Amino acid sequence: MSTARAIAGDIRSGAQRAADVLEEYLGRIEAHDGDVHAFNTVTAEQARAAAAAIDAAVDEGRDPGPLAGVPVAFKDNLCTRGVATTCSSRMLEGWRPPYDATVVQAMTAAGAVMIGKTNLDEFAMGSSTEHSAFGPTRNPYDLARVPGGSSGGSAAAVAAGFAPLALGSDTGGSIRQPASLCGIVGIKPTYGRVSRYGLVAFASSFDQIGPFATDVADAALALGVISGHDPFDSTSIPAAVPDFEAALARGVEGLRVGVVSELTGSGRNGAATGSPMLGDAAGEVLGGIDADVTERVLEAADALADAGATVGRVSVPAVTYGLTAYYLIAPAEASSNLARYDGTRYGLRVEGADVEEMNRLTRRAGFGDEVKARIMLGTFALSAGYYDAYYGKAQRVRMLTRRDFDAAYADFDVLLSPTSPCVAFRFGERADPMTMYRCDTCTIPSNLSGDPAMSVPFGTGAEDLPVGVQVMAPALGEEAMLTVAAALERAAPPLPKPPLAAAASTTGAGS
């Protein structure tokens, strides 16, 4: 399958037609998405009109943009004008926004063609895409396993070859964790680097939008397109957008890389775990991270050392409390954000004898069990008599996390950890909420701090399934993060192609 860069280059030069590329991808979706269910909506006719406009621009000698004719999938919590935006919830089933999210506008302006809206855990609350009102998404590597979540549809669409690029949202790991489980690249930018305008809110102080791609260079290209200040988002950072693609070729010589001890343990001997080195430290080790995943992270650290980086161990003690703090703050914000779905203004309405009963019946029918559980947890944490004991303490832990990361970045340019504690698991294996929530152990800390982080495939673990290594950087440190990610990609063992992607690549005119 071609990269987004190759597709755009061919279309801009006239070597390929955007309409032909689109039909190839639509053919793959038609042939194979019945098995995966990556999409809630396929926007075939709208995409054909957009592709025709791209071809017309090329014929007239105009440059359609850096993503000319590239099919892109958007997570179904990003507003798309006139196209159903459901958040995979009965509450918003059929709702068509009157405007596009800023990131959708940016991708379209760069020449991308929206091919559809992807499935997710309802209102982005989940780590497996099992909690969608419209049914689960399946992992292209093994249809009996989850793709991760909540952006599982976007990750599966890219991994299966249904689109070269996709956008998702990351509140506690919802881009990075499914990227890891599906063997692709996923980026959560610095909070405020990318506009949230038009993203249906889950937890507003955590939510960030970012790209999925098959390689680091495509992810960097997409990140550059969607980054930048937006006056419609009060949290948007008024900073210039760097040349992210230029960072990929810089090499890691002289960079300082810290392996987070709380997320990797003492490990084996090697560059990351041998004799004391720069910033050598060991903290309380979190349980539940599989040995095969840890081993891939240590091998990635060794590869960076071989490439010229200075690698050492670093302790970030507050990460051990990240899960607890997050699952108080995020549900509290969700409780507030989701109060707007009351049957009065838009979305589902279940009639009742009076307004109070209508509100109650609407929310009971419209929200799934996971969303209801998080709303109740958040409402409790914010209630009188409990606010200081729970929500207030969780916010103090958040500040402690920020301080601990700042201390780590005083000694290291980037940090490494697993992305997910395990490879893709089977449907129903993590039905217990706490077992499921622990899927976010490694990713949540960067949401608490607001720093950028990304997942890069690095070999396989149990049953030959992909493992992702997480690269973290300080705020606005995406360039160093991408430099290290590109080095890891160059050193990574070959990753088996998902059987479904191999099948999809034979559908249509070729790749």
Q: How far apart are CA 213 and CA 266, in angstroms?
A: 32
DSSP conformational letter for 377 = H
75 is catalytic: yes
Burial tier of 370 (Cβ tally within 10 Å: 0-12, 13-18, 19+): middle
Q: How far apart are CA 23 and CA 307, in angstroms?
A: 42
Cα-based torsion angle of the residue sequence 251, 253, 254, 255 in order, rounded to the nearest 10 degrees: 40
Asked whether the bond before 511 is cis by omega within 30 degrees of 0, the reply is no
Tokens of 193: 């680097």
Catalytic residue among 2, 88, 150, 169: 150
150 is catalytic: yes
Residues in the chain: 511
In the sheet that holds 310-314, the strands lie side by side as: 39-42, 113-118, 71-75, 165-170, 208-213, 185-188, 453-460, 466-472, 414-418, 256-260, 310-314
SS3 of 76, please? coil
Q: Are strands 414-418 and 310-314 parallel, antiparallel or unpaired?
A: unpaired
Q: Cβ(129)–Cβ(145) under 8 Å? A: no
Q: How far apart are CA 66 and CA 121, in angstroms?
A: 31
Q: How far apart are CA 173 and CA 156, in angstroms?
A: 16
Catalytic residue among 75, 127, 195, 455: 75
Alpha carbon distances (Å) from 62 to 5, 11, 334: 18, 12, 45
Q: What are 468's strand-pairing partners?
A: 457
Burial tier of 324 (Cβ tally within 10 Å: 0-12, 13-18, 19+): middle
Catalytic residue among 2, 128, 174, 195: 174
> Among all residues, which ones are annotated catalytic?
75, 150, 174
